[in-house]
Amino acid sequence: MPEKTKKEKNNKKTERMVRLSSVFKALSNETRLAVFENIRLGQCKTMMNEDNRPSVCCVASNFNISLSTISHHLKELRNAGLIDCERKGQSIFCKPNKETVKIIIEYLKSVMNK
């Protein structure tokens, strides 16, 4: 198998930096970080699906802000690849995207090892 060229390695590195940048930008908002934590920890008393994923309405009930504002924050988290959402009937359930979380952890480990 041929070795990757320098350009291919740089493109992969650039893609990774763009992804990390969007992740950190999304998490830089306090409310959005709190929404992500609610989803990550499954902090919801009602409307959990069989995989213990909270519904959007349940997440919203943990905050004193409008459902449309919560929806905006969820959209930003989805666009950054931090969460995945799935519609079941009339409810939407969210979960953290483990692949993106793994990329964050690997990056932070590399920072600590330098």
Q: What is the pLDDT of residue 9?
A: 64
| Strand pairing class (83-88; 91-96) | antiparallel
Averaged pLDDT for residues 31-45: 88
* Model confidence pLDDT, tens digit, residues 59-97: 898 899 998 999 999 999 999 999 999 998 888 999 999
What domains does the chain contain, in order, with CATH numbers?
Answer: 9-112 (1.10.10.10)
Distance CA 20, CA 28 (A): 12
* pTM as predicted: 0.82
Q: Is the pLDDT of residue 56 over 70?
A: yes
**Is residue 81 left, alpha or beta, with left meaning phi > 0 and alpha meaning psi from -120 to 50?**
left
Tokens of 53: 């994923």
* Model confidence pLDDT, tens digit, residues 100-112: 999 999 999 999 9
